[in-house]
């Protein structure tokens, strides 16, 4: 059976890293007898330049006909889009919203081969393996807002505000994702909130407690976001699955990304209720190194592994890719971002090293 995958390479290093991930998917297809078909569409600045929109109708159609999207990144250096034109990031939000992708999964892992790359002591960080499950389509980023327009009067009373709102169904469905993921891992869920201050967090906590009753094999604990921000660095190996709201997840997962050694190592998935997913590296378009063939393709290759696991249920194939990445790192394959100033290989050579290990 053919598996249609939409490719949105986007801007900057996006096309370079997506091309690498497709090569790895093709190796998997040949080895395990799958047929992946790809349709590429315009996204980001490339789409704005060609059509005026960062997420044109045609791209929407290509994504709608696929089972999943493999994305590069969008955006460019400041000033790369004409004043008044839409921002490429608007396309990203529109894409997630179009397909209801409410569950953002961001695994953060420390590779032994990269321990000397990480600014936390090896004895503290060794063995870190956390799955962040972030709510992506609700909370304060989507709440009611009021802006203060024009000149600001410093003695004035007009308020700017954003409201943090969560409905029980929004919390319940993201909690379900977290508990199900924990069953496949170390069977522990940590829910992070600010329940000592925020009403929306108290609702969050109560709903998570209710959902937990359906998962008696999973241990649940609650953490307050402020102290958790410290613990994620001082005790990074203490966590398995971390579930949290949109803004807390945004901040904490970026903080935790230092535990992986480089942005170039971090994959992500954004899923909807039927398993449709947008898979992309956590990093942006890296305009400073775009076109040089030196970007680290691992984040996108690991995102492709997540596609196999979460949308297609091909766990064995996903594990094969993850093991191949570990093997390449153990064999000292290093792109510039993880070479600590030492000798490094190109995007193509890193991709070849991973394919060799496969």
Distance from C-alpha of 177 to C-alpha of 181, rounded to nearest angstrom: 6
Residue of 94, 247, 263, 352 that binds ligand NAD (CB under 6 A) = 263
Closer residue to ligand NAD (CB): 218 or 256 = 256
- Whether 285 and 75 have beta carbons less than 8 Å apart is answered as yes
Closer residue to ligand NAD (CB): 41 or 171 = 41
- Whether 129 and 110 have beta carbons less than 8 Å apart is answered as yes
Distance from C-alpha of 331 to C-alpha of 357, rounded to nearest angstrom: 10
Residue of 288, 341, 342, 343 that binds ligand NAD (CB under 6 A) = 288
Distance from C-alpha of 209 to C-alpha of 190, rounded to nearest angstrom: 11
277 binds ligand NAD (CB under 6 A): no
Stretches 27-35, 93-101, 162-170, 279-287: which one binds ligand NAD (CB under 6 A)?
279-287
Catalytic one of 11, 193, 240, 250: 250
Query: Is the CA virtual torsion 226, 96, 27, 293 positive or negative?
Result: negative
H or E stretch covering 201: helix 199-212
Closer residue to ligand NAD (CB): 18 or 195 = 18
Closer residue to ligand NAD (CB): 208 or 294 = 294
Q: Is residue 250 annotated as part of the catalytic site, yes or no?
A: yes
54 binds ligand NAD (CB under 6 A): no
Residue of 295, 302, 308, 328 that binds ligand NAD (CB under 6 A) = 295
13 binds ligand NAD (CB under 6 A): yes
76 binds ligand NAD (CB under 6 A): yes
Characterize the bridge pairing of strands 35-40 and 2-10: parallel
Stretches 19-27, 249-257, 286-294, 317-325: which one binds ligand NAD (CB under 6 A)?
286-294
286 binds ligand NAD (CB under 6 A): yes
Strand partners of residue 248: none
Cα maximum dimension of the chain:
69
Q: Is residue 141 annotated as part of the catalytic site, yes or no?
A: yes
Closer residue to ligand NAD (CB): 77 or 168 = 77
Strands lying side by side in the sheet with 188-193: 35-40, 2-10, 68-73, 277-281, 267-271, 103-109, 129-135, 241-244, 188-193, 219-224
Q: Is residue 254 annotated as part of the catalytic site, yes or no?
A: yes
Distance from C-alpha of 132 to C-alpha of 243, rounded to nearest angstrom: 6
Backbone angles phi, psi at 279, to 5 degrees: -115, 130
CA-nearest of 289, 285, 295 to 345 is: 295
- Whether 342 and 320 have beta carbons less than 8 Å apart is answered as no
Residue of 109, 283, 309, 334 that binds ligand NAD (CB under 6 A) = 283
Catalytic one of 141, 186, 187, 344: 141
Q: Is residue 194 annotated as part of the catalytic site, yes or no?
A: yes
By rule CB under 6 A, what string of x and - marks binding of each residue 86-125 to ligand NAD? ---x--x---------------------------------
Under the rule (CB under 6 A), what is the footprint of ligand NAD? 13, 17, 73-76, 89, 92, 263-264, 280, 283-289, 295-296, 299, 337
**Residues acting as catalytic residues:** 141, 194, 226, 250, 254
């Amino acid at each position: 059976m053919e598996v249609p995958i939409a490719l949105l390479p986007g801007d900057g290093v996006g096309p370079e890293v997506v091309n690498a991930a497709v090569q790895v998917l093709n190796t998997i297809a040949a080895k395990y007898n799958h047929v992946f078909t790809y349709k590429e569409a315009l996204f980001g600045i490339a789409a704005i330049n060609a059509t005026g929109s960062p997420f044109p109708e045609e791209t929407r159609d290509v994504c709608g006909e696929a089972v999943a999207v493999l994305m590069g990144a969008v955006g460019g250096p400041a000033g790369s889009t004409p004043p008044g034109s839409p921002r490429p990031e608007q396309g990203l939000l529109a894409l997630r919203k179009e397909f209801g992708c409410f569950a953002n999964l961001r695994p953060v892992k420390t590779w032994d081969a990269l321990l000397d790359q990480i600014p936390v002591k090896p004895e503290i960080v060794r063995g870190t393996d956390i799955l962040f499950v972030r709510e992506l389509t609700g909370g304060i980023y989507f709440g009611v807002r009021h802006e203060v327009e024009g000149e600001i009067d410093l003695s004035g009373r007009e308020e700017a505000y954003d409201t943090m709102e969560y409905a029980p169904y929004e919390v319940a469905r993201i909690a379900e994702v977290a508990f199900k993921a924990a069953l496949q891992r170390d069977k522990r869920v940590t829910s992070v909130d600010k329940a000592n201050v925020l009403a929306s967090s108290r609702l969050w906590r109560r709903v998570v407690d209710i959902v937990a009753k359906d998962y008696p094999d999973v241990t649940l604990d609650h953490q307050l976001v402020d102290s958790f921000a410290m613990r994620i660095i001082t005790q990074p190996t203490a966590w398995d699955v971390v579930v949290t709201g949109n803004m807390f997840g945004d901040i904490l997962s970026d903080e935790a990304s230092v535990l992986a050694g480089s942005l170039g190592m971090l994959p992500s998935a954004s899923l909807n209720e039927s398993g449709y997913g947008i898979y992309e590296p956590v990093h942006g378009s890296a305009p400073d190194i775009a076109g040089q063939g030196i970007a680290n393709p691992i984040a996108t290759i690991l995102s492709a592994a997540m596609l196999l696991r979460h949308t297609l249920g091909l766990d064995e194939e996903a594990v094969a890719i993850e093991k191949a990445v570990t093997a390449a790192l153990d064999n000292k394959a290093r792109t510039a971002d993880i070479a600590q100033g030492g000798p490094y290989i190109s995007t193509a050579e890193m991709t070849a090293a991973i394919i060799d290990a496969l």
